[in-house]
């Protein structure tokens, strides 16, 4: 009798554990490892390996990248609309230099920036790109004309960008609320939204000196070069990185939305160029921005590595 009871108890325990295992596999519930410890030591050796790695994470990650010397491209969810956060400040910068070369605007003209007083247009642009200062960006947009900033993507024939690429603060907050209470995948055309395929077009035009004019493009490239963005752990010394990054943390308890990403132009001393945009959405609330950044740097380095293999 004792053996029977012992066997029955063991059977119930084993059965319960087995059931929990099945439920865990079916629902996908598991405690994710911290991102830093989950990152492989080696970069993926193929697109398939990178895709498999990204598919194993619970957040959305996408990118588009192009080696301008070989024409080789890599992409993942490249046409999915996502919030571009401060990446869109690159369009405001383009409008500033358009007005310098076509409208007679002087960069030493002053504007009022909340919390900083009267600053020059040049200093406001430094704050916008160098420190991603939102107050400086809003002041610049108002001085340049927000409608002028918003038409820059269309002027450059960059598709899949919102017609309201740099909305007023109130409208942007409404957009974030719509995202946090809406579907995981954004609908097309939301303010400050665009695609990973669209952003690298900006940097390809830049290196070809086709943003507004050759003179404006030269000014833009020189300005961005003074604000390097080495969003990389393995290629920061091998390439010069210029571009713009952004991130958002938006919480409406119990809901949480987090995004991080960047658009970049990478230039080798030999003159080779890569343009790319990498983004991540819906990072969990307990994953700090520093860990999000390390994760996306790994994705960036993986993409660059795979594009470089085409020229080795």
Q: How far is CA 252 from CA 169, 181, 258, in A?
A: 17, 9, 12
- Structure confidence by residue, pLDDT tens digits, 198-247: 999 999 999 999 999 999 999 999 999 999 998 999 999 999 999 999 99
pLDDT higher than 80, residue 2: no
CATH superfamily of 36-311: DD-peptidase/beta-lactamase superfamily (3.40.710.10)
Instruction: Say what the pLDDT of residue 267 is.
Output: 97
Instruction: Say what the pLDDT of residue 38 is.
Output: 73
Give mean pLDDT, residues 64-82: 97
Q: What is the pTM of this model?
A: 0.87
pLDDT category at 19 given cuts 50, 70, 90 is very low
Instruction: Say what the pLDDT of residue 7 is.
Output: 42
- Tokens standing for residue 218: 């030269």
CB-based contact 208:265 (threshold 8 Å): no
Give mean pLDDT, residues 4-16: 37
Give 153-222 as a DSSP string. Answer: HHHTT--S--TTSS--HHHHHHHHHHHHTS-SSPPTT-TTEE-TTHHHHHHHHHHTT-SS-HHHHHHHHH
- Tokens standing for residue 141: 């947009």
pLDDT higher than 70, residue 248: yes
Instruction: Say what the pLDDT of residue 5 is.
Output: 37
Quote the mean pLDDT of the chain. Answer: 89
Instruction: Say what the pLDDT of residue 17 is.
Output: 34
| Separation CA 154–CA 111 (nearest Å) | 27
Instruction: Say what the pLDDT of residue 28 is.
Output: 34
pLDDT higher than 80, residue 104: yes
Give mean pLDDT, residues 13-28: 32
Instruction: Say what the pLDDT of residue 35 is.
Output: 52
Rounded percentage of the chain residues whose pLDDT exceeds 90: 84
Nearest alpha carbon to residue 305 among 92, 40, 123: 40
Lowest average pLDDT, out of 1-15, 16-30, 95-109, goes to 16-30
């Amino acid at each position: 009798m004792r053996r029977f009871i012992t066997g029955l108890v063991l059977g119930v325990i084993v059965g319960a554990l087995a059931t929990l295992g099945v439920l865990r596999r079916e629902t996908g519930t598991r405690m994710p490892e911290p991102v830093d410890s989950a990152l492989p030591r080696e970069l993926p050796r193929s697109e398939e390996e990178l895709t498999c790695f990204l598919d194993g994470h619970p957040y959305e990650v996408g990118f588009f990248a192009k080696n301008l010397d070989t024409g080789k491209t890599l992409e993942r969810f490249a046409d999915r609309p996502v919030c571009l956060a401060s990446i869109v400040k690159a369009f405001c910068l383009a409008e500033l230099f358009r007005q310098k070369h076509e409208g007679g605007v002087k960069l030493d003209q002053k504007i009022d920036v909340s919390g900083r007083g009267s600053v020059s247009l040049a200093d406001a642009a430094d704050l916008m790109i160098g420190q991603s200062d939102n107050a400086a960006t809003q002041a610049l947009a108002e001085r340049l004309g927000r409608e002028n900033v918003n038409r820059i993507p269309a002027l450059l024939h960059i598709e899949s960008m919102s017609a309201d690429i740099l909305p007023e603060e109130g409208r942007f907050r409404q957009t974030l609320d719509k995202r946090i209470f809406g579907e995981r995948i954004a609908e097309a055309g939301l303010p400050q939204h665009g695609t990973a395929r669209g952003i690298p077009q900006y940097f390809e035009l830049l290196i070809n000196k086709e943003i507004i004019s050759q003179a404006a493009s030269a000014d833009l490239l020189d300005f961005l070069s003074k604000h390097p963005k080495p969003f990389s752990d393995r290629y920061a010394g091998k390439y010069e990185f210029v571009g713009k990054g952004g991130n958002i943390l938006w919480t409406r308890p119990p809901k949480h939305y987090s995004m991080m990403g960047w658009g970049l132009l990478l230039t080798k001393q030999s003159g080779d160029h890569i343009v790319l945009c990498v983004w991540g959405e819906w990072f969990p609330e307990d994953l700090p921005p520093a860990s999000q950044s390390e994760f996306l740097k790994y994705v960036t380095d993986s993409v660059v590595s795979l594009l470089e293999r085409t020229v080795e």
